[in-house]
Structure 1
Amino acid sequence: MSKNHFDLNKLYQTHKVLVYNVALNYLQNIEDAEEVTQDVFVKVYQSLDSFKEESHIKTWIYRITINQSLDLIKKKSTKKSFFSFGRKSENEYEYNNSSDFEHPGILLENKEDAKVLFETINTLPENQKTAFILAKVDGLSNPEVAEIMEMSISAIESLVFRAKNTLKEKLSNKFEEYRKKK
């Protein structure tokens, strides 16, 4: 397949919001999401000749976005010294969980809840996190998630179920801690 088969500008216009939103859900940082969005479309352009059309182009772009987002998370978490709240921190957990992220789609009064939710989502194992974000945050169907993650529908259902249970338990614990402080 040649790159001429696809209108690259149309591909970008059609999928840029989707790519940005998926990256934002993973990274909770606007600048990082913008960087990943650019990287995804560079990779799409470079890899278009190898796209086999065995899946939908949207599914392929989703996969690239997830991989680019996870790569950026790994790259950031392997830095030797971590920066947190204006001071250096050697504690990776503290760095990864000190989000001051404000999701543009969240209403002002829900920002604190959204911050806690995204911090908790970030503690999930990678596959559970991906399945949960695609199914519950992005609203994709289980068959769509299965195609993107290249897994069976029942495996996706299991991952989402486990993610929801883990989130319920962790959020319940956070709520209990919060109530004890008041």
Structure 2
Amino acid sequence: MPPPTPLSDEDLLAALRAGQAGAFEQLVKQYGARVLNTCLGLVPQRADAEDLTQEVFVEVYTQLASFRGEAKLSTWVYRIAVNKCLEWQRHRKRQKRFAFITSLFGADSNEPTHDPPDYEHPGVLAERREQAALLLQAVARLPERQQAAFTLFHLEGLPHSEIAAALELSTGAVESLLHRAKGTLRQQLGAYYRDFVAG
């Protein structure tokens, strides 16, 4: 039996607001993989990315009544995903700073040890995983908005206009973010960057 035809953003939003049976499940089917891919581009551990993906859809569900439709449904979902991941990053940085300060005073830290990033984005071929891991580590050092713009453009393939809507920026600002991100990554990674990212 062939899979059901994806609904347009407008039809899906109408079904969700009408409380139609299966509408939210359809939303998760249509956008679940995309949201996970976005999270994998911004969060190093797959388990964390999967948890954040669930949180994204919980927020979509709880905030649906307040969504005014000023942006496309997909753009709104991407915006929530990016914000969730950046919040996670900020929380992790605070944890690490606290653990470092605690260690300066000789106290035992309860900070858990973190595994190295397991970069397994589905768009990356197995033989390029090592290069991808280096790229991910470099992207994680970029300013937040550059990280988000780079991930949505290079890993999700979104056009500048949709990235601008998701990040609530102008198209020109997105182009500037991408230009600065590319310059920094080229400088840090050299040939690895050229091999991994076209253009």
Measure the CA separation in 2 of the matches of 1:130 and 1:158. 13
State the Cα distance separating 1:161 from its structure 2 match: 0.7
Amino acid at match of 1:61: V
Q: Percent identity?
A: 33
Structure 2: how far apart are the matches of 1:173 and 1:20?
Answer: 28
Report deviation, 1:16: 0.7
Q: What displacement does 1:28 show?
A: 2.1
Which residue matches 2:105? Answer: none
Query: Which whole-Å deviations, capped at 9, do the CAs of 1:114-135 have from their partners, x for residues lacking one?
Result: 1111101111111111111111
What count of residue pairs does the alignment treat as equivalent? Answer: 164
Whole-Å separation in 1 of the counterparts to 2:121 and 2:170: 33
Call closer, same or farther: CA 1:56–1:120 in 2, change over 3 Å. same
Runs of 5+ consecutive residues of structure 1 not aligned to the other structure = 83-89, 176-182
Residue type of the partner of 1:170? Q
Question: Which residue of 2 is the match for residue 50 of structure 1?
Answer: 66
CA RMSD of aligned residues (A): 2.7
Whether the aligned pair in 2 keeps the contact of 1:99 and 1:119 (CA below 8 Å) is no
In structure 2, distance between residues paired with 1:154 and 1:60:
20
Give the deviation of 1:74 after TM superposition: 1.3
TM-score (norm 1): 0.81
In the alignment, the residues of structure 1 paired with residue 177 and residue 121 of structure 2 have an alpha-carbon distance, to the nearest angstrom, of 27
1:8 aligns with 2:21: no
Change (3 A) 1:166 1:49: same
**1:9-158 alignment to 2 at 5 Å?**
9-79=25-95, 80-81=98-99, 99-105=116-122, 106-158=124-176
1:136 Cα offset (Å): 1.4
Segments of structure 2 that go 5 or more residues without pairing to the other structure are 1-12, 101-108, 194-199
Is the Cα contact below 8 Å between 1:59 and 1:147 reproduced in 2?
A: yes
> Please, which moves more after superposition, 154-163 or 2-11?
2-11
If asked which structure has higher relative contact order (CA below 8 Å, sep 6+), I would say: 2
Q: What TM-score do you get using the length of structure 2 for normalisation?
A: 0.74
List structure 1 runs of 4+ shifted beyond 3 angstroms. Answer: 1-4
